[in-house]
A and B are shown apart, each in its own frame.
Chain A
Amino acid sequence: QKEVEQNSGPLSVPEGAIASLNCTYSDRGSQSFFWYRQYSGKSPELIMSIYSNGDKEDGRFTAQLNKASQYVSLLIRDSQPSDSATYLCAVTPFGGGYNKLIFGAGTRLAVHP
């Protein structure tokens, strides 16, 4: 069973701090990695994608991928209360096309003023 694991949280951080969200995956051949943000009562929205080892930065967000250790993380700098949401990690496993995306259960982030 190919899995994507996330700590359910809640992860509580003060406003202005760095929030670090982690995700591990079981399929070593996984190819593509995504972070979705889901506000309560809303649908998931894609915020970051990463395909190769290393860091990818977009504004306050940085995705980090380490294929050897099979983890992907999301850093949120200068966290704001508006960042409070559930963050879903998603992975396309080896040989998987568009119909093979596997999601984690999500980590709930709470940013307090």
Chain B
Amino acid sequence: ETGVTQTPRHLVMGMTNKKSLKCEQHLGHNAMYWYKQSAKKPLELMFVYSLEERVENNSVPSRFSPECPNSSHLFLHLHTLQPEDSALYLCASYRTSGENKRSGANVLTFGAGSRLTVL
């Protein structure tokens, strides 16, 4: 258990459905992320929330809609998805440590992921 919890772990949905993925972190981190992981492709950053500010990858389709009500919870709302959206969706949270503050680096902690299948 990493301290970042994602639900559901598996989701099968039709193209006309509306569903949501949920992420909760218990680490006191100050930023949360959604990543998409497709087979044999690099992790793709979709959205970042820091102190409730949203940063997004402009290539992400509008059928994905994030929501971050507070620093511990993050949602990804899904509607009218396409089969090519089938992937592992990973939530991550971020903190700084002493060394990382000097270098400005990232230390990401990932959740276990939500495996999405769009039929």
Contact = CB atoms under 8 A, between A and B. Distances in A.
Interface stretch (B41-49, B64-72, B78-86): B41-49
Interface in B1-55: 2, 31, 33, 40-43, 45, 48, 50, 55
Given A98-B50, A99-B50, A32 B40 contact: no
A98 B48 contact: yes
A104 B40 CA distance: 10
A49 B115 CA distance: 28
A106 B90 CA distance: 16
A4 B48 CA distance: 20
Contacts of B41: 105
B65 to A, nearest CB: 18
A98 B42 contact: no
Interface residues of A, number: 24
A102 interface: yes
Nearest to B55: A99
A45 B2 contact: yes
A46 interface: yes
Given A43-B112, A45-B2, A45-B110, A97 B43 contact: no
A45 B1 CA distance: 11
A55 to B, nearest CB: 17
Interface of B: 2, 31, 33, 40-43, 45, 48, 50, 55, 90, 94, 99-100, 103-113
Interface of A: 4, 8, 31-32, 34, 42-46, 49, 51, 88, 90, 92, 97-99, 101-106
Given A49-B105, A101-B106, 7 more contacts: A31-B104, A32-B105, A34-B105, A42-B113, A43-B112, A45-B110, A104-B42
Top 4 nearest A-B pairs by Cβ distance? A32-B105, A43-B110, A103-B43, A99-B48
